[in-house]
Chains A and B, each alone.
Chain A
Amino acid sequence: MKNTLKAALLGIAFTGISSYAVAQRDYQSYEQMTQRLQKLSSRYSKLVSLTTVGKTATGKEIWMLTMGRDNSANKPAIVVAAGVEGTQLATTELAVQMAEQMLQAAVLQDSVRELLQSKTFYIFPNLTPDASEQYHEKLRWERTGNAQPVDDDRDGRMFEDPFEDLNKDGLITMMRIKSPTGTFRPADADPRIMVKADAAKGEKGEYLLYTEGIDNDKDGKWNEDPEGGVQFNRNFTFDYPYFQEGAGEHPMSERETKAFADFLYDAKNVYAVFLFGPANTLSEPLRYDKAKASARIMTGLLEKDAAVNEQISKLYNTATRLRNAPRVAPSSGDVLQWAYFHYGRFSYSTPGWWTPKMEPTQDTTGGKSPLAASEHADVNFLRWAEANDVVGTFVNWQSIKHPDFPDQVVEIGGLAPYVKQTPPVRLLGPIAQKHFQFFSAYAKWMPSLQIVNIKSEKVDGGLTRITADVYNQGSLPTHAEIGDKSRWVQKVKVSLQLSDTQKIVSGNKIQLSNALAGGEKFQVSWLVNGKGYVSINAQSPMAGKQSKEVFLR
């Protein structure tokens, strides 16, 4: 009832948006996405389940797909999390398309069925739905905060300086004001794009540049306190940006971040966390830095983990063949660094999709002039959009009357909101496919515990000495090196199970090991008194388990 009403209202809202907004970019609202996920989980109910880890301030569910056959909580797992930044709608679409492809393939291909038999995938399509929903609202602007009310500029007034849609096109873009004290100028390569004038190079600015709106609170800043919220990808504990805009009252203050972290802390089987997010540590790995890794408060990957990052990055580049990725470093309070430094798991991030780099052209047909490649991301984006018939990406500068600048020339225009993060959905299918291939390859490399070289030898006095090697058959370690420091990562555990008539004379019943690298082994031995069968159990929630029986004569 309520949902229908909402959908109806949404429909009305849509009619109000200019043609820019809807055409071609068919990204889904929360309601639509919810239905799609529900359909998916009922269609493939034997392979996937849809659950929620929590609710947002507006009551939206934070959905999680659990892919894998029965007993998924007890199998090594990979987390794939998308929508960690409210503007990155393509990441949600990528994650869901990948899940759909995997499920379809599992019906047809033994290898994929086996993958879902041996591993679990926890897929979070959208971790900040209250922010991303702004894309579908009547006024479209690039919202990153959730719906938790926050006084962004900490002045005691809430939401006192929002954006205003001055040209009434349903989009918040930029405004430029012709001014002798301006610091921006049109880019040489494309005069629509405004760039900072470099005084050191003798360049002169002509424009002031602000976001579209009015200085409602007359503090000389434009739109510094709009509606919302705390940013999901800025609210985690590692390198938390205290008192910064969008960071929240304290680390993990938000429903979304807490729900996500609470689920993961309980999920002992999570081996690695992959993010479809702003940072990129897959095209280009994070490097080992001894000073950072050995500081009391570590800020760099441990040596073995950095080596694994390099290994995985090679796998990623080979499997996906995606080139020219933008270099984006991890950021303060983000999920990526939390997952590694504080959750103790391998963690990686890729935006998944990015604007392909436009090659220079010598094409002069029809009066076109040859173009050099542009280093400017916006210029490159507009050229790509044009070459691929993506419409509605730019609002041409048009002058308006602005109450804050009564006697100056003020123009509204610029890139339409979200366009750089929302390529036509049809382009994402092949990219999802490439990531599916990457994850399949990755899963094959994951660790697997085996008990080998079991020996039992008679010792004087009716005792038996049992020795065995616990061996990691995979290509990757049983857990990250940082996991050995973390209380949230269970070590490799080997135990000997005895009956009442058997007794350990020497050796501990439970033996623990730090991370075993791919191909590495760990020797255990016991001296046992008694007869009959005993069993050796080797287990790690992230690397599986094996049990072998030994007969004592």
Chain B
Amino acid sequence: MKKTILHIALLTSCLCGVGVRQVKAQQTAAQVFRAAGTPQNPKVTVNWTRYYDYDGLTEICAKLAKAYPDLVKLETIGDSYEGRRIWALTISDFTTGDPERKPAMYIDGNIHSNEIQGSEFALYTAWYLVENFQDNKFIQELLQQKTFYILPIINPDARHNFMHQPNTAQASRSGMIPLDDDGDGLVDEDVPDDLNKDGHITFMRRKSSNGRYVVDPQNPLRLIPAKPDQPGEYELLGYEGLDNDSDGLMNEDPPGYYDPSRDWGWNWQPNYIQPGAYKYPFSVPENRSVKDFVLRHPNIAGAQNYHHNGGMALNAQGAEDQNTFTREDNQVYDLLTRNAQQVIPGYTYSVVYKDLNSAFGGELDWFHGARGIFTFSNELMSPFLQLDRKVASGEEREAEQQELNKMLLLTDAFVEWKPFDHPTLGKIEIGGFKKNFPRAHPGFLLEEDAHRNMAFTVYQAYQLPQLVIQEVNTRKLSNGLTEVTATVANNRILPTHSSQDLKHRIERPDYISLRDSTVVSGMVLESAGANRGKEQKLNPARLEIPNVPGMGSVKVRWIVSATKPNLLVEVDSRKGGVVSQRF
């Protein structure tokens, strides 16, 4: 309650405070020589080489909405468990039609709380589109035709916790609803403890001749396994912590734990089958709000859920044994992936159920399976971005992270090992990578990779269906009747309905209407060349088309009882937008 008020206050202050006026950059526009592809003089200046907490992101969202009222709408779609507002940005050219009726690209980030960069990537996209709108013809046309829905932080409580409380780089992936993880009836009663009070949960090690680790002779910060015949120097004792509840285990009931991306209504399974599942699909309140938002926007035809790491694009479908893929859909995914591979070096393309452990109730699975939306989940911070731009794996990767820390970050990402007197473990040492490495991009890589991923989502948005009424022909028949034939084309690679959508009739058919009151009969032709089709008996003036395929067209025909029919044709597709034209 208190928190909500605080957020409102904060938002209000930045709406009418500094953010209202154009923020003055440190240098004047005249002093800046424009780098290609970067806005010369942004109204909202943001340093994209660092991360922002929930309040910081909230402020950037508010500034964008204030600075570009014709391009940005900011709304709250619900509250998080701890009472933070979940923000949704609508980005489109509001002067050229209802954004709700344009084909839309959906982007979210940070569903896993430690995967923080998804928020910056999503928000960078919003910022980039609006700050370049004035000067960039491609972006102008894109925002005339398409809408972006950007939800930068869909797990705000845990982002706040990750940044402001001691954590590791790996944890937590959870949200902040306290849960009993060990079945003893107590919740979150044995969380890791920041023993050395440095804001990071690092590792504990103890000098021991029985340990099987030795210090890496190449890098004194690093422990490596002792050779089989070599005596060890250290034993590893896990993450910093205490046995807070005296049950003999350390850190066994951390915050949460549930996985917000195992909570979606597609192929959902309980925790004993799918670790991380909460009560039932959308039992996590943040997800329920996001789901409701998506259902309220049936114009969403493409989606990106940012995760990390690995540098892969995952497309649905996540869990085994439900084959929802078809050749047609695969073709679309392949075309989009080709672009990703070009703009994001090191990008590899995986299908979740084939190449990773299968997951039930994943977010992207729901977008694809239940809503028929073409969905990618880019796993950010590719190993490729590490030192030598080669994809390393396993032990090599860890060594490389150490090298990167040493050579490019000048050891900033590491807490040096220091002695500590532990109440139950005795004399130990504490040290290791900070929580901002290696899963979060170092600052110098953050902006570059945000840009590359933005470019990919913009490409996907460009390829959302673009419907045009290509031609309308008339032919006089006997008895004062006229035959009207119209061709509607889709000039992009995404269809108005994915195969999954068609198979389960997820979204209603597309409508092609002739605004003539004397329509006697109407039919959808089998193909462009064919002269036969299927008659629609009910309401023939508004013909129902199951799908307009990518880079394809459909042909429809009416018979009207008029010699000069009213040749106003309207196309109305949920995922393909609305077009109307008089001939």
A and B held together in a complex? yes
Chain B positions 261 through 273: 1 when the CB is less than 8 Å from some CB of chain A, otherwise 0 = 0000110111111
Residues of A contacting B370 in the complex (Cβ-Cβ under 8 angstroms): 242, 249-250
Are A296 and B509 neighbours in the complex by a CB distance under 8 Å? no
| Most chain A CB within a 10 A radius of its CB, from B181, B265, B271, B282 | B265
A446 to B527, CA, bound (A): 68
| Most chain A CB within a 10 A radius of its CB, from B268, B280, B538, B544 | B280
Q: Is the interface of A mostly helix, strand, loop or mixed?
A: loop
With A217-B538, A491-B184, A508-B247 as contacts: A265 and B279 at CB distance below 8 Å: yes
Residues of A contacting B506 in the complex (Cβ-Cβ under 8 angstroms): 154, 243
Residues of A contacting B279 in the complex (Cβ-Cβ under 8 angstroms): 261-262, 265, 488
A250 to B508, CA, bound (A): 17
Residues of A contacting B272 in the complex (Cβ-Cβ under 8 angstroms): 485-487
Residues of A contacting B184 in the complex (Cβ-Cβ under 8 angstroms): 490-491, 493, 510, 512
| Most chain A CB within a 10 A radius of its CB, from B181, B247, B270, B271 | B270
Are B537 and A154 neighbours in the complex by a CB distance under 8 Å? no
| Most chain A CB within a 10 A radius of its CB, from B185, B281, B537 | B185
Are B538 and A242 neighbours in the complex by a CB distance under 8 Å? no
Interface residues of B in 242-277 (CB under 8 A from A): 245-248, 265-266, 268-273
Are B280 and A493 neighbours in the complex by a CB distance under 8 Å? no
A193 to B366, CA, bound (A): 45
Give the Cβ gap from A466 to chain B, nearest Cβ, in Å: 16
- Chain B residue at minimum C-beta to C-beta distance from A341: B270
Are A486 and B271 neighbours in the complex by a CB distance under 8 Å? yes
Interface residues of B in 497-513 (CB under 8 A from A): 504-506, 508-509
Does A200 have its Cβ within 8 Å of any Cβ on chain B? no
Are B505 and A237 neighbours in the complex by a CB distance under 8 Å? no
- Chain B residue at minimum C-beta to C-beta distance from A156: B508
Does A218 have its Cβ within 8 Å of any Cβ on chain B? yes
Are B295 and A249 neighbours in the complex by a CB distance under 8 Å? yes
Chain B positions 366 through 396: 1 when the CB is less than 8 Å from some CB of chain A, otherwise 0 = 1000100000000000000000000000000
Residues of B contacting A491 in the complex (Cβ-Cβ under 8 angstroms): 183-184
- Chain A residue at minimum C-beta to C-beta distance from B358: A296
- Chain A residue at minimum C-beta to C-beta distance from B275: A487
Residues of A contacting B269 in the complex (Cβ-Cβ under 8 angstroms): 297
Q: Is the interface of B mostly helix, strand, loop or mixed?
A: loop
| Most chain B CB within a 10 A radius of its CB, from A240, A250, A253, A491 | A250
A298 to B370, CA, bound (A): 23
A253 to B288, CA, bound (A): 10
Does A458 have its Cβ within 8 Å of any Cβ on chain B? no
Give the Cβ gap from A296 to chain B, nearest Cβ, in Å: 7
A432 to B247, CA, bound (A): 47
Q: How many residues of B contact A (CB 8 A)?
A: 36
A401 to B62, CA, bound (A): 65
Does B283 have its Cβ within 8 Å of any Cβ on chain A? yes
Residues of B contacting A268 in the complex (Cβ-Cβ under 8 angstroms): 185
Are B537 and A504 neighbours in the complex by a CB distance under 8 Å? no
A489 to B179, CA, bound (A): 12
Does A407 have its Cβ within 8 Å of any Cβ on chain B? no
Are A510 and B246 neighbours in the complex by a CB distance under 8 Å? yes
A155 to B508, CA, bound (A): 5
Chain B positions 499 through 535: 1 when the CB is less than 8 Å from some CB of chain A, otherwise 0 = 0000011101100000000000000000000000000
> Shortest 8 CB-CB distances between A and B: which pairs?
A156-B508, A250-B265, A485-B272, A154-B505, A243-B504, A509-B246, A252-B280, A508-B248
With A250-B366, A251-B268 known, 6 other A-B pairs at CB within 8 A are: A155-B508, A155-B544, A156-B508, A156-B544, A487-B180, A487-B183
- Listed A/B pairs (29) with beta-carbon separation below 8 Å: A154-B506, A155-B505, A155-B544, A156-B509, A237-B268, A237-B270, A240-B268, A242-B266, A243-B506, A249-B370, A250-B266, A250-B291, A258-B280, A261-B279, A297-B273, A298-B273, A341-B270, A342-B280, A486-B270, A487-B183, A487-B271, A489-B183, A490-B184, A493-B185, A508-B246, A508-B247, A508-B248, A509-B245, A510-B247
Residues of B whose CB lies within 8 Å of any CB of A are 179-185, 245-248, 265-266, 268-273, 279-283, 291, 295, 366, 370, 504-506, 508-509, 537-538, 544
